[in-house]
């Protein structure tokens, strides 16, 4: 069953989401923002301003998820203007960011991260990823710019929505099996095997 706003708020008070915004925020200091916070059946998390990386082409190299060369991912500068703080994801490229919020997922919940329509409408696709039962940390978020134009991706604003799916408690949680992405810090974490 998908969990609603009442359940999400109750669990956030127990530490499931921090920091937690108890309502959907669409304006900050009278400026429009890409919404974040609690919605009817989900929670929109924000992109951290601390780090964003973009895959770059290095002739003669192949990206290998079993042996990722960090040189293939270059840091992207955080820009600021009257619309807010943002990173630029070049056209037809792929980037990694990190969630501002820290999550601590209960043993009966799996979370799905889905893209926001505001970004989808400009060609920015958030990869659908799970946070399994018992997972905790800051999510590394994956984005693809499918458009032929560079795209801004705003820091400190909504970037993906989390859906909380409940089931019976699993036999072995992510924490119990010592999952390789447990306790991710607020920085991009590369693929691990």
Encode pLDDT of 82-123 as tens digits. 999 999 999 999 999 999 999 999 999 999 999 999 999 999
CA 43 to chain centre: 11
Cα 48 from Cα 51, distance rounded (Å): 7
| Rounded distance between C-alpha atoms, residue 86 and residue 121, angstroms | 18
CA–CA separation, 128 and 134 (whole Å): 19
Q: What is the mean pLDDT of residues 174-180?
A: 87
- Give 133-144 pLDDT, tens digit per residue: 999 999 999 999
pLDDT recorded at residue 98: 97
For residue 95, what are the contacts with CB-CB under 8 A and spacing of at least 6?
52, 53, 54, 55, 76, 87, 89, 142, 143, 145, 153
Q: What pLDDT does residue 62 have?
A: 82
* CA nearest to 131, candidates 156, 99, 168: 99
State the Cα–Cα distance between residues 113 and 162, nearest whole angstrom: 5
Domains of the chain, earliest start first: 5-166 (2.70.40.10)
Q: What is the pLDDT of residues 56-65, one digit of tens each?
A: 877 877 888 8
Question: pTM above the 0.85 mark?
Answer: yes
Which among 29, 101, 142, 186 is annotated as catalytic? 142
- Look at the block and give the residue holding tokens 């925020």: 25
Catalytic site residue 29? no
């Amino acid at each position: 069953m998908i969990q609603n706003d009442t359940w999400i708020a109750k669990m956030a008070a127990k530490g499931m989401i921090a920091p937690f915004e108890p309502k959907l925020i669409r304006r900050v200091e009278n400026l429009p923002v890409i919404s974040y916070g609690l919605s009817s059946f989900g929670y929109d998390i924000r992109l951290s301003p601390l780090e964003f990386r973009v895959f770059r082409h290095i002739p003669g190299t192949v990206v290998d998820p079993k042996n990722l060369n960090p040189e293939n991912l270059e840091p992207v500068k955080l820009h600021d203007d009257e619309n807010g703080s943002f990173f630029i994801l070049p056209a037809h490229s792929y980037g990694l960011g990190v969630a501002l919020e820290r999550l601590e997922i209960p043993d009966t919940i799996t979370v799905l991260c889905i893209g926001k329509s505001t970004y989808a409408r400009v060609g920015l696709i958030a990869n659908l990823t799970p946070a399994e039962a018992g997972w905790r940390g800051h999510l590394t978020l994956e984005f693809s710019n499918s458009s032929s134009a560079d795209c801004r991706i705003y820091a400190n604003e909504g970037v993906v929505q989390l859906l909380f799916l409940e089931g019976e408690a699993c036999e072995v949680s992510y924490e119990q099996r010592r999952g390789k992405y447990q306790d991710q810090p607020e920085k991009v974490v590369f693929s691990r095997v």
